[in-house]
Amino acid sequence: MPKDKNITSNSPSSNASRRLVSVDPGVNKIGLATFEGKTLTDYTVKIIPYAPLVRERIHGIDKVVTQYLNEKQPHTLAVEKTNFSSATHNGLLVLAYYKILAIARRKKLPVYEYVPISIRKSVCGDGHATKRDVMKVLISKYPELRVFTGANRRWKERHCSHLFDSVAVGLAHLKRHAQDSKRTQ
């Protein structure tokens, strides 16, 4: 996949002991974020090449996600669980979601799934927070993400929302993991 298609990317190299990749599944775009321990080290939105057939689109998702996981070599995968609906677009989203789970299983990665309301509750303290509320919290924690706000076009805002969603999934996982660790001590 050409580099210029992945508009929002930052990938400094780092070797921490535990690496997490978090995913915001999508049909056209997939948000991906990498954490080394608690540090956000990479964030990107990968564009899935358009294909008229569903199987070709799913193959594109497989290729993009597999390539990213091969590059990052994570120990854990956190995924936003999709809302299951009968709408055609959501049907494709469900297929994309299950493809990502299949890739993780193939790579023998532990997967943690988070529904949107639990992600918002973990990040903002309110399960009914808006995307903008989540964005503000993420920017306060990761100031380097500020550059992706204030999009003057609707498509840029939607594009960057995948990035923020993937970072939110990772942060929710880290918070949940930290809470679970405290309970077991």
CATH number (3.90.1410.10, 3.40.50.970, 3.30.420.10, 3.90.870.10) of 3-184 reads: 3.30.420.10
Q: Could you give phi then psi for residue 40, rounded to 5 degrees?
A: -75, 115
Per residue in 23-50, pLDDT (tens digit) is: 999 989 999 999 999 999 999 999 998 8
Q: With 90 as the cut, is the pLDDT of residue 184 above it?
A: no
Q: What is the pTM of this model?
A: 0.84
Q: Indicate the pLDDT class of residue 177, thresholds 50, 70 and 90.
A: confident
Distance CA 64, CA 42 (A): 15
Tokens for 143, please give them.
């100031």
Write down the domain spans for the chain.
3-184
Burial of 56 (0-12, 13-18, 19+ CB in 10 A): exposed
Q: Which residues pair with 10 in a beta bridge?
A: 43
Per residue in 58-90, pLDDT (tens digit) is: 999 999 999 999 999 999 999 999 766 555 557
Q: Residue 75's closest CA among 123, 116, 34? A: 34
pLDDT at 153: 66
**Which DSSP symbol is given to 107?**
T
Tokens for 98, please give them.
């299950």
